[in-house]
């Protein structure tokens, strides 16, 4: 047995103690001078865990050396710069129907309604306001029953108007279920009218300036009415249910609202003082009231309220409104102010009762026993001012069974129905008020008016090319059909045409017969 403490000496002692034959055999196999054999013999004598740790350490060291020593593969990056070519929008096919409702048939309702009937049932409230044409839900927001307690003079009696939706434009929840699509069919609209509205809105969207307004002179108008026309264009989007919070035109609506607010001065007035100031302020105020009523956006409340306050300050003493502050009233300008105040009241803004009281007193002074209305007391009545007078009285509460309203509506039907031809005044202006008035009257009067209205507006809308969605004369040129249209421009007529065709759901009938 080896007694040496040194490992090498111990091995030598063991070898010396072996028989000569066994020692010679080992030296023959491995060779005393073979370093590999000696290493193997020595490693074999080590504990297993030492060997394992050593092997792993060597492997990790090799991996680290490889990661550092081997360079990463080089990737050649080739950047190809090409000029982006804007694709030309597809040409519109005049013969192709714009299928808003995804079908090829006219919109059908379960029943046709002869006379407007208002019911006051609780309506489901939703944070999702109906904006897209294919929606069919009861999603109107706002006060279902807007009650006005303003005492009126003359024949006007204000009661529940039942518009709901927080603004005149925002009426899309239908009383017995369904929404825009159902209202369109029930009140005489069609796939063609809906398609025409959508095309008009697309034209307005294409021609909106980046800052949000519509430039009347740039859009073939003879005079600068940017504030008023921009307000009308905004109303057209709102009337179709699009707000600055939802819908594919949300950006257009938002930019238009922001631009209008920037035009408002510290007193709440819109537009620069001019002989057309009254029109422009009332239309802008109406648009803001509608936008606030539909969205209940807190940031719109203050500018909309300031516009209302300035309207009351602008009013002639216990009368209506005209172009400049406190100027003796006329029916045309008064009509826009009445609509602004009515929309503001429905939206929840504060409206001084003197506004409606003065308007009612003025209308009494220009309305005859036959229900016809004049521009001013010293002038004779005409169908355009009669239409404005009817709308004002309806919005202030006079029921459609009132004999004076019935006579006035019959006068419109007998005197002039919508038709596409040149006039000295504004056809779109007349059609707008006449549509609102006869729609609220309902029955045969509405049917008699609506039939030629649809044909006039839909058949004479440009189809195809850059003018698609806007109105044009029969030869496709921009001669249009009235001096007012020529002065205000294509954006004015496009917006007014859309507003007429939005009546099927925008102004749901407000009075029971």
Mapped to the 3 state alphabet, what secondary structure does 144-210 carry?
CCCECCCCCCCCCCCCECCCCCCCCCCCCCCCCCCCHHHHHHHCCCCHHHHHHHHHHHHHHHHCCCC
Dihedrals phi, psi of 165, to nearest 5 degrees: 80, 5
- Alpha-carbon span 339 to 404, nearest angstrom: 20
**Alpha carbon of residue 42 to chain centroid:** 88
> Which is higher by pLDDT, 266 or 468?
266
Least confident of 13-27, 391-405, 449-463: 13-27
pLDDT at 116 over 70: no
- What is the pLDDT, as a whole number, of residue 442? 92
Q: Which residue has the tokens 């009415």?
A: 225
Highest mean pLDDT among 38-52, 329-343, 422-436: 329-343
What tokens were used for 186?
């029930």
Q: Give Dmax over CA atoms of the chain in angstroms.
A: 151
How large is the C-alpha radius of gyration of the chain? 41
The angle that helices 191-206 and 443-459 make with each other, rounded to 10 degrees, is: 50
The pTM is what? 0.70
> Which is higher by pLDDT, 224 or 34?
224
> Which is higher by pLDDT, 207 or 139?
207
pLDDT at 27 over 80: no
Which CATH fold topology does 180-506 show? Glycosyltransferase (1.50.10)
| Burial letters 17-29, b for 16+ CB under 10 A, else e | eeeeeeeeeeeee
**pLDDT, average across residues 101-120:** 36
> Which is higher by pLDDT, 361 or 505?
361
Least confident of 41-45, 82-86, 147-151, 487-491: 147-151
- What is the pLDDT, as a whole number, of residue 299? 97
> Which is higher by pLDDT, 274 or 429?
429
Parse the chain into domains and list their residue ranges.
7-64, 180-506
Is residue 308 within 8 Å of residue 353, measured between CB atoms?
A: no
- What is the pLDDT, as a whole number, of residue 182? 77
- Alpha-carbon span 169 to 142, nearest angstrom: 12
Sequence-distant (6+) residues with CB within 8 A of 335 are 388, 389, 391, 392, 433
- Alpha-carbon span 463 to 466, nearest angstrom: 9
- What is the pLDDT, as a whole number, of residue 36? 54
């Amino acid at each position: 047995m080896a007694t040496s403490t040194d490992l090498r000496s111990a091995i030598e002692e063991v070898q010396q103690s072996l028989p000569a034959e066994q020692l010679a055999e080992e030296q023959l196999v491995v060779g005393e001078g073979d370093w590999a054999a000696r290493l193997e013999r020595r490693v074999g004598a080590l504990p297993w865990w030492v060997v394992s740790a050593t092997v792993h350490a060597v492997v990790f060291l090799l991996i680290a050396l490889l990661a550092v020593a081997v360079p990463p593969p080089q990737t050649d990056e080739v950047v190809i710069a090409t000029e982006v070519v804007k694709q030309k929008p597809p040409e519109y096919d005049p013969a192709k129907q714009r299928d808003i409702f995804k079908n090829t048939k006219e919109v059908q309702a379960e029943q046709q309604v002869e006379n407007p009937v208002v019911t006051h049932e609780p309506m489901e409230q939703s944070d999702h306001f109906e904006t897209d044409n294919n929606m069919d839900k009861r999603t109107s927001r706002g006060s279902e029953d807007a009650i006005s307690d303003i005492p009126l003079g003359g024949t006007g009696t204000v009661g529940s108007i039942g518009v709901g939706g927080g603004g005149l434009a925002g009426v899309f929840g239908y009383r017995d279920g369904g929404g825009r699509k159902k209202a369109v069919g029930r009140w005489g609209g069609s796939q063609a009218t809906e398609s025409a509205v959508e095309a008009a809105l697309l034209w307005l969207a294409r021609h909106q300036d980046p800052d949000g307004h519509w430039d009347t002179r740039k859009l073939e108008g003879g005079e600068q009415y940017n504030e008023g026309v921009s307000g009308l264009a905004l109303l057209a989007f709102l009337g179709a249910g699009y707000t600055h919070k939802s819908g594919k035109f949300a950006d257009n609506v938002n930019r238009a609202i922001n631009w209008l607010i920037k035009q408002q001065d510290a007193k709440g007035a819109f537009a620069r003082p001019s002989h057309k100031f009254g029109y422009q302020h009332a239309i802008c105020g109406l648009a803001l009231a509608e936008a606030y009523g539909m969205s209940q956006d807190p940031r719109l409340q203050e500018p909309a309220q300031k516009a209302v306050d300035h309207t009351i300050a602008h009013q002639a003493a216990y009368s209506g409104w005209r172009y400049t502050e406190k100027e003796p009233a006329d029916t045309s300008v008064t009509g826009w102010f009445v609509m602004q105040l009515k929309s503001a009241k429905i939206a929840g803004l504060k409206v001084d009762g003197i506004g409606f009281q003065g308007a009612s007193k003025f209308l009494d002074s220009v309305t005859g026993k036959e229900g016809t209305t004049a521009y001013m007391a010293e002038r004779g009545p005409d169908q355009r001012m009669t239409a404005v007078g009817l709308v004002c009285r309806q919005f202030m509460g006079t029921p459609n069974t009132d004999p004076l309203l019935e006579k006035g509506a019959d006068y419109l039907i007998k005197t002039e129905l919508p038709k596409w031809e040149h006039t000295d005044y504004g056809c779109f202006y007349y059609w707008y008020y006449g549509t609102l008035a006869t729609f609220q009257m309902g029955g045969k009067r509405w049917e008699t008016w609506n039939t030629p209205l649809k044909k006039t507006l839909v058949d004479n809308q440009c189809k195809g090319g850059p003018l698609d969605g806007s109105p044009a004369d029969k030869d496709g040129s921009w001669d249009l059909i009235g001096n007012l249209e020529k002065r205000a421009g294509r954006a004015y007529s496009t917006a007014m045409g859309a507003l007429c065709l939005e009546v099927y759901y925008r102004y749901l009938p407000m009075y029971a017969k």
